Structure formats: C-alpha cells, structure tokens
C-alpha cells in the first residue's frame, strides 16, 4: 500500500512544526527561569536583565517561526 503524496506532505509539515517548535519552547522556558533566578538573587538587576532576555526570547521564537515557514512551504509547494 503506497502512501498518498498529499498525506506525506501533511505528515512532513506536521513533523517540521513539531520538531522546530520543541527546542525554542525549552529555550524560552530556560531563559525565563534563569532570568527570574538572577532577579531573585539580585533584585536591582531586573532592569538590566529585561532587555537582553526579551531579545533572546525573540530570537528563540524566530526559530519556531522559521519552522512554520518551512512547514508551509512543504505543504503548499
């Protein structure tokens, strides 16, 4: 029994999104946890940590968006 190409495309797109969003999710969680731990140890550092943390979260989130774009290319091309 052969796999329909449309079904294979759907599985590939789902796999790309799944794999491409797992690690950024862990990265964002670890970034936030370490920032909160650092702020807990030194509350005066909150203003200095906020901007780099948000920037790093944005870069990690961009990787998940790239995975979404790859999934859309797989599905519709």
- Domains annotated on the chain, with CATH: 10-76 (1.20.20.10)
Cα(9)–Cα(17) distance, rounded to whole angstroms? 12
Q: Give the pLDDT confidence of 36-67 residue by residue, as tens digits.
A: 999 999 999 999 999 999 999 999 999 999 99
Give the model's pLDDT for residue 31.
94
pLDDT (average), residues 13-42: 94
What is the value of pTM for the model shown?
Answer: 0.77
CB contact at 8 A, 75 and 69? no
Distance from C-alpha of 72 to C-alpha of 51, rounded to nearest angstrom:
31
Give the DSSP per-residue string, 53-66: HHHHHHHHHHHHHH
C-alpha span between 37 and 15 (Å, rounded): 33
């Amino acid at each position: 029994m052969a796999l329909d190409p449309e079904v294979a495309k759907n599985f590939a797109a789902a796999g790309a999104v799944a794999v491409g969003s797992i690690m950024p999710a862990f990265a964002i969680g670890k970034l936030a946890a370490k920032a909160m731990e650092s702020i807990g140890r030194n509350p005066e550092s909150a203003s200095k940590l906020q901007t780099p943390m948000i920037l790093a979260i944005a870069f990690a989130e961009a990787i998940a968006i790239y995975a979404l774009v790859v999934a859309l290319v797989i599905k519709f091309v």
